[in-house]
Amino acid sequence: MKVTFAHMGNLYITVKALLEDLGVEVVVPPMPSKRTLSIGSRHSPEFACLPLKVNIGNYIEALELGADTIAMAGGVGPCRFGLYGEVQREILKGLGYEFDMVIIDPPQGRLRRVLQQVGRLVGRNSVGRYLRAVRLAWAKMTAVDELEKLAQRVRPFESRRGEASAALERALRLVDEASSIAGVKGALEDGREALLDVKAPGGGAHSAPRIGVVGEVYVVLEPFVNFDVERRLGEMGVLVERSIYIGDWVREHVFKDLLRLRKGRRPYDLAKPYLCHFVGGHGIETVGHTVEYAHRRFDGVIQLAPFTCMPEIVAQDVLPSVSRDMGIPVMTLIFDEHSSDAGVLTRLEAFVDLVERSRSRRDAM
Amino acid sequence: MGEVVGIPRALLYYHYYPMWKVFFESLGASVVTSGETTRAVLDAGARVAVDEACLPIKVFHGHVLALAGNCDYVFVPRLVSVERRAFICPKFMGLPDMVRCNCPGIPNLIDSCVNLSKSTRGYVRAVYSAGRVFTGNTLRILAAHTKAKAALATYTRYLESGMTPDEALALMGMTNSRDASARGGVAAASSPLGAARNPGKGQDGVAIGLVGHPYVVYDPFVSMGVIRRLREMGAIVVTSDMVPASTIESEASRFPRRVFWTLGRRLLGAGFYFLGSGAVHGCLHMRAFACGPESLIGEILEREAARHRDVPFATITVDEHTGEAGVLTRLEAFFDVVTRRKKR
């Protein structure tokens, strides 16, 4: 059995560690590319959202490399993601691929069913082995998040353009290659030092504009589909913070769900005057985090969403009111297979300009 | 003279209007609806809603704006879920918030939240919160709700017997007189009560199964009059609301995963039924551009249709730029294919 899964940013480092440590052979799909997107959108429903299309591309490229099993998360609605698995299976079977698809549903407090689904994937393992695998994967996930956050903080102050991203990439590779928790710790330590080294002498003395990135989890986390918006902004001298990091997401959606803990209410409470009900996906988080960034006196917020994403459309609909009431510039970027590099870059530059100007106006007052 | 509640003639108006109307009227309010969708209504809605919103949501905004000035309240319920473990589309969950942000200056909203996905307790609260606007008397609210549910049951029975919402409402005396006289004749002629067990085939002529959200296929403007046009060509039109709910459920359960959108499951079940049962001669899927659920439901239906080549299947996508001539041409072509296939 050779298991594959779809890409979402650096999530592959964690998933790969988890599966391999449980003795599963893993085929990581090639990093998403133009080819991935073009074969994905060729075989997907025209009006499906972008993640489905890129997933299809990932799967086809991995199947070509010999994968025979696809692991995928399920869902219970109301966002379309919950039906991805079935539709993707139909599409791929229709193309003649032979494979097994294992859909792991959200636990909703039913641990046993999840374990059965996971068991189908990894076979029998001792509890100790599970714990060890989860601990290693967890360490990697935490390290990835920390390195990404650090890169965001130093990027606007780097002495040579692209240095922070290069250091981040090297550090992530070391984390990926580490086979023990001690190894992960070492890689994290080295990465931290390398990233701090890229700061120009005196860098950080001037203050950079701060922009919060909110929106749909896949587009926010996957640099290929968002045209590397985070790096782009950083290299324009902007301090970026995202509303979602993989670790937070897993803690919130997998573990709290598994243990039936009460989920954090904060984004919900903050979103209240504008959006008073969950709308699936991350719609309410998008609104809540925008309010939060305004409270924290960020200089702007960028919402990222796939074209026709239902929860994000609701959020997008109310964001102008948030922006008006709280005086924070908000821009929405919507991505599909027709999005272009130049188009995204132009809009980013225009937005950063706007943010800088409103900042200097504010400072002058 | 009681207070006036405005009900936008869009979205789930087509499923629930008799219930809502009877409920508010039993509490002493009077009810007005916005008129039929027109170009002006759509344009007004499209101006205020975000570009990325789907056509039905834009139409809904237009109807809310059309009601402004004619009523004391606009009824914009937050319909999260109308059954266990299922949802309406995410946009319905944020609808009152979207309307409030986009349409300043409109009357107060009655935005009761209906969420039955986990338990039915919230439903009672929703009914009460809508009723409390007019009376503090719980018994009166309950009585109004009982009457409202009876009206809905009658309405649903009419729909299942083969009537369109307009025809059923005319029969229930719920449209204004102009509408009633215009449509009553059609109701009597083409949708005999009692055909529910066997909609479509069995009568002369070509039967066409029409799959599509109620607010798309029943809105004559949005759908370019698809039902009227097919009937004028001589077809018997069977919509998903004319298929008994139990049939829908059992057909939809053939799909390996439970479809968690109530409306999506109805479309899927009806589509499977039309394609696989031999009840109709052709199956037409009409969808709105940018409708999230239908992008996947449509894909599943197309794949199912490929397994049933004996039943012609076509999809027509409508949006605010769709021209009438284009839709008519496609309808005629589809009708031709179905007729020719039937003769063979």
- For an interface test with B, give the residue of A279, A287, A319 to mutate (most B CBs within 10 A): A279
Which residue bears the tokens 């393992």?
A125
Q: Provide the terminal-to-terminal Cα distance of chain B, rounded to the nearest Å.
A: 62
Cβ within 8 Å, pair A77-B86: yes
CA-based nearest distance B186→chain A, Å? 36
Q: What burial class does residue A106 get, using C-beta atoms within 10 Å of its C-beta: 0-12 exposed, 13-18 middle, 19+ buried? A: middle
3-state secondary structure A312-356: HHHHHHHHHHHHHHHCCCEEEEEECCCCCHHHHHHHHHHHHHHHH
Cβ within 8 Å, pair B53-A47: no
Provide ipTM, 2 decimals: 0.91
CA-based nearest distance B234→chain A, Å? 32
Cβ within 8 Å, pair A280-B291: no
Which residues from A are below 8 Å from B256, CB to CB? Answer: 86
CA-based nearest distance B292→chain A, Å? 6
The predicted pLDDT at position B199 comes to: 53
CA-based nearest distance A204→chain B, Å? 39
Cβ within 8 Å, pair A313-B91: yes
Mean pLDDT in runs of 10 for chain B (344 residues)?
91 96 96 95 95 94 95 96 92 96 94 91 91 95 97 95 93 67 40 43 80 96 95 95 94 94 96 95 95 95 95 94 91 96 84
The predicted pLDDT at position A303 comes to: 98
- For an interface test with A, give the residue of B82, B101, B125 to mutate (most A CBs within 10 A): B101
Half-sphere exposure in the Cβ direction for B43 (13 Å, CA): 3
CA-based nearest distance B235→chain A, Å? 30
Cβ within 8 Å, pair A78-B261: yes
Which residues from B are below 8 Å from A316, CB to CB? Answer: 50, 52
Which residues from B are below 8 Å from A309, CB to CB? Answer: 292
Which residues from B are below 8 Å from A283, CB to CB? Answer: 90, 94
Question: Could you tell me if B136 lies within 8 Å of chain A, comparing CB atoms?
Answer: no
3-state secondary structure B105-156: CCCEEECCEEECCCCCHHHHHHHHHHHCCCCCCHHHHHHHHHHHHHHHHHHH
Which residues from A are below 8 Å from B315, CB to CB? Answer: none
The phi and psi torsions of A347 (rounded to 5 degrees) equal: -70, -35
The torsion region of residue A29 among left (phi > 0), alpha (psi -120 to 50) and beta comes to: beta
Question: Could you tell me if B315 lies within 8 Å of chain A, comparing CB atoms?
Answer: no
Question: Could you tell me if B133 lies within 8 Å of chain A, comparing CB atoms?
Answer: no
Q: Which of A45, A86, A283 is nearest residue B256 as measured by Cβ atoms?
A: A86
- For an interface test with A, give the residue of B91, B258, B261 to mutate (most A CBs within 10 A): B91
**A335: closest chain B residue by CA:** B52
The predicted pLDDT at position A364 comes to: 78
| Ranges in chain A, pLDDT < 50 | none
Question: Could you tell me if B316 lies within 8 Å of chain A, comparing CB atoms?
Answer: no
CA-based nearest distance A44→chain B, Å? 9
pLDDT in tens, A150-178: 999 999 999 999 999 999 999 999 999 99
Which residues from A are below 8 Å from B102, CB to CB? Answer: 317
To the question of pTM greater than 0.90 for the whole model, the response is: yes
The predicted pLDDT at position B159 comes to: 93
Q: Which of B78, B261, B298 is nearest residue A77 as measured by Cβ atoms?
A: B261
The predicted pLDDT at position B188 comes to: 37
The predicted pLDDT at position A315 comes to: 97
Cβ within 8 Å, pair A90-B303: yes
Question: Could you tell me if B79 lies within 8 Å of chain A, comparing CB atoms?
Answer: no
3-state secondary structure chain B: CCCEEEECCCCCHHHHHHHHHHHHHHCCCEEEECCCCCHHHHHHHHHHCCCCCCHHHHHHHHHHHHHCCCCCEEECCEEEECCCCCECCHHHHCHHHHHHHHCCCCCEEECCEEECCCCCHHHHHHHHHHHCCCCCCHHHHHHHHHHHHHHHHHHHHHHHCCCCHHHHHHHCCCCCHHHHHHHHHHHHHHCCCCHHHCCCECECCEEEEEECCHHHHCCCCCCCCHHHHHHHCCEEEEEHHHCCHHHHHHHHCCCCCCCCEHHHHHHHHHHHHHHHCCCCCEEEEEEECCCHHHHHHHHHHHHHHHHCCCCCEEEEEECCCCCHHHHHHHHHHHHHHHHHHHHC
The predicted pLDDT at position A205 comes to: 60
The predicted pLDDT at position A358 comes to: 87
The predicted pLDDT at position A262 comes to: 58
Q: Which of B90, B97, B101 is nearest residue A78 as measured by Cβ atoms?
A: B90
Between the CA of residue A152 and those of A143, A147, A239, A241, A288, what are the distances in Å? Answer: 14, 9, 6, 7, 22
The predicted pLDDT at position B177 comes to: 43
- For an interface test with A, give the residue of B51, B98, B253, B287 to mutate (most A CBs within 10 A): B98
- For an interface test with A, give the residue of B299, B300, B302, B307 to mutate (most A CBs within 10 A): B299
The predicted pLDDT at position B35 comes to: 93
